[in-house]
DNA sequence: ATCATATTGTTACTATTTTCACAATAACCA
DNA sequence: TGGTTATTGTGAAAATAGTAACAATATGAT
């Protein structure tokens, strides 16, 4: 099994690039085209494909529709992905309203918050009381959650939802969460992303 | 110069962990404590420090306050970082309202949007017309921008702001941006983050 | 039908990152 | 003061990731 996160991220980028190429009317693609589109190298593209047993045609490149089918299957995009959002603060609400997920086959079924003032069962993405989250996860068979609660609430929230069946968490709380048995946690730490950028900008400035 | 992004991200995590330990009353810390707090290894911690010439005391560990000073200096946290946000849609607005940046010494001075309906010069973070962004960047000496515009607007926006002096962009538009001379672009692609999580959750499910 | 060419698929190589192992040594104890 | 112990700092080893090179081969031209 491939455990290289960057490799999987590249697959997503290939997929996105292929849709763009397809929209432009292309039917086939060569490894170097694809490399250009995603800022990689032709070797890397072919290597990545070979890792997943994806093959093209000597001198003929890869047929885009077949390639997309295979990538989509690897990335689990052959079925609608149901997701919930925990925390209806600024970030959580923005994610619930964000249109970008839909066209990727990712559907946010509900948001959950502890604050009664935030509850709204009639909005496009209903916002429900946190007490209902366990039942909701079980009833809908949800595996993936986005966590956008304050740091102090994060660990407890993760334990609650993993107990109910969540297997993957995209964590926006600015805090490393202790691993929970049987649940993968990917952290998106906005402060750290910015700090990182600032570091490299400063390094560049010093070089010059 | 250290160019390993993961290493710099670890430094941020160490820093955050150190503040938590300090808040708990700790004065010194050992490499294995710190490793535990950030989910790393003691070797990794010491190696990272050694790369930056940070040294501790044999048998005495590291003094937290000194360590924090050094990390903060490396990460550019000894001065307020001024940032602007381009795009006042869901994500952009959420980032402008997000409180987490402030306590990291990151101050969002303004938001910019092309839509006149979004302009609000009197909000906590003023939202100004995009036409004013170049003048604003120059007047305030801003180096870092957060880009939260639709994909089709992203490339043009980057060119506009780098022309005015921006050196680093944190890009939330779901699109790979072509590198611009003299400007570092860090991409945060929420769809790809979720896809990645979904892939690994599915892999785990298959193993079992 | 043969040849030249373009492109894949894979293996070997290189670079980077992480882990290991242990000498050096400061702190503590008797 | 001398011996023991805990912890650092680093150089070497291992693991992982990425790049390059090229044989295999399908395609198209003559």
Check A204 against B167: CB less than 8 A apart.
Answer: yes
Q: Do B109 and B136 belong to one domain?
A: yes
What's the whole-number mean pLDDT along residues B144-153? Answer: 96
Distance CA A111, CA A95 (A): 10
* Chain A residues with beta carbon closer than 8 angstroms to that of B17: 176
Q: Is the pLDDT of residue B10 over 80?
A: yes
Check A168 against B197: CB less than 8 A apart.
Answer: yes
- Give the pLDDT confidence score for residue A208 in this predicted structure: 67
Check B197 against A91: CB less than 8 A apart.
Answer: no
Per-residue confidence at A176, pLDDT binned at 50, 70, 90?
Answer: confident
Question: Which residues 17-36 of chain A have a CB within 8 Å of chain B?
Answer: none
In-domain check, residue A201: no
Over chain A, what is the mean pLDDT? 96
B50, B74, B98 - which closes a domain: B74
What's the whole-number mean pLDDT along residues A114-142? Answer: 98
If DSSP states are collapsed to H, E and C, what string results for B30-81?
CHHHHHHHHCCCHHHHHHHHHHCCCCCECCCEEEHHHHHHHHHHHCCCCCCE
Distance CA B48, CA B54 (A): 9
Q: What is the pLDDT of residues A68-115, one digit of tens each?
A: 999 999 999 999 999 999 999 999 999 999 999 999 999 999 999 999
In-domain check, residue B197: no
Q: Do B59 and B151 belong to one domain?
A: no
In-domain check, residue B160: yes
Distance CA A148, CA A197 (A): 22
Find the DSSP H helices in chain B. 5-23, 31-38, 42-51, 64-74, 90-97, 133-140, 151-164, 190-207
Q: Do B53 and B127 belong to one domain?
A: no
In-domain check, residue A199: no
Question: Which residues 33-62 of chain B have a CB within 8 Å of chain A?
Answer: 37-39
In-domain check, residue B35: yes
Question: Which residues 92-131 of chain B have a CB within 8 Å of chain A?
Answer: 93-95, 97-98, 100-101, 104, 106
Q: Is the pLDDT of residue A117 over 70?
A: yes
A47, A74, A101 - which closes a domain: A74
Nucleotides on chain C within 7 angstroms of protein Cβ: 5-11, 16-21, 24-27
Q: Do B138 and B159 belong to one domain?
A: yes
* Chain A residues with beta carbon closer than 8 angstroms to that of B13: 176, 192
- Give the pLDDT confidence score for residue B208 in this predicted structure: 66
Provide the percentage of residues in chain A whose pLDDT is more than 90: 93
Cβ of B61 near strand D (distance < 7 A): yes
Q: What is the pLDDT of residues B127-141, one digit of tens each?
A: 999 999 999 999 999
Domain limits at B23? 5-74
Number of domains in chain A: 2
Distance A205 CA to D22 C1' (A): 42
Q: Is the pLDDT of residue A37 over 70?
A: yes
In-domain check, residue B152: yes
Distance from CA of B121 to the nearest CA of A (A): 20
- Give the pLDDT confidence score for residue A35 in this predicted structure: 97
What's the whole-number mean pLDDT along residues A145-173? Answer: 97
Q: Is the pLDDT of residue A207 over 90?
A: no
**Least confident segment among A35-44, B9-18, B21-30, B173-182:** B173-182
Q: Do A88 and A66 belong to one domain?
A: no
What's the whole-number mean pLDDT along residues B6-10? Answer: 98
**CATH number assigned to the domain comprising residue B17:** 1.10.10.10
Distance CA B134, CA A138 (A): 51
Distance from CA of A132 to the nearest CA of B (A): 23
Cβ of B10 near strand D (distance < 7 A): no
- Give the pLDDT confidence score for residue B178 in this predicted structure: 83
What's the whole-number mean pLDDT along residues A24-44? Answer: 96
Dihedral of CA A96/A98/A102/A106: which sign?
A: negative
In-domain check, residue B34: yes
Q: Do A140 and A58 belong to one domain?
A: no
Q: Do B90 and B185 belong to one domain?
A: yes
Q: What is the pLDDT of residues A1-23, one digit of tens each?
A: 788 999 999 999 999 999 999 99
In-domain check, residue B198: no
Q: What is the pLDDT of residues B28-61, one digit of tens each?
A: 999 999 999 999 999 999 999 999 999 999 999 9
* Chain B residues with beta carbon closer than 8 angstroms to that of A95: 90, 190
Distance from CA of A20 to the nearest CA of B (A): 11
Distance B125 CA to D17 C1' (A): 43
What's the whole-number mean pLDDT along residues B148-177? Answer: 95
């Amino acid at each position: 099994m491939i455990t290289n996160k960057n490799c999987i991220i590249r697959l997503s980028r290939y997929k996105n690039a292929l849709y763009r190429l397809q929209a432009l009317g292309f039917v086939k693609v060569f490894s170097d085209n694809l490399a250009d589109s995603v800022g990689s190298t032709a070797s890397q593209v072919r290597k990545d494909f070979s890792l997943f047993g994806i093959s093209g045609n000597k001198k003929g490149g890869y047929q885009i529709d077949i390639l997309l089918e295979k990538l989509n299957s690897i990335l689990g995009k052959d079925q609608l992905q149901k997701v919930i959002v925990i925390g209806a603060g600024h970030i959580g609400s923005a994610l619930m309203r964000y249109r970008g997920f839909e066209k990727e086959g990712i559907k946010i079924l509900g948001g959950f918050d502890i604050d009664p003032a935030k509850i709204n069962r009639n909005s496009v993405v209903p916002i429900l009381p946190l007490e209902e989250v366990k039942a909701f996860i079980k009833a809908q068979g949800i595996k993936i959650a986005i966590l956008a609660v304050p740091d102090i609430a994060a660990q407890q929230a993760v334990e609650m939802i993993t107990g109910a069946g969540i297997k993957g968490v995209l964590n926006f709380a600015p805090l490393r969460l202790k691993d929970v048995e049987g649940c993968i946690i990917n952290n998106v730490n906005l402060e750290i992303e910015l700090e990182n950028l600032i570091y490299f900008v400063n390094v560049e400035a010093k070089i010059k």
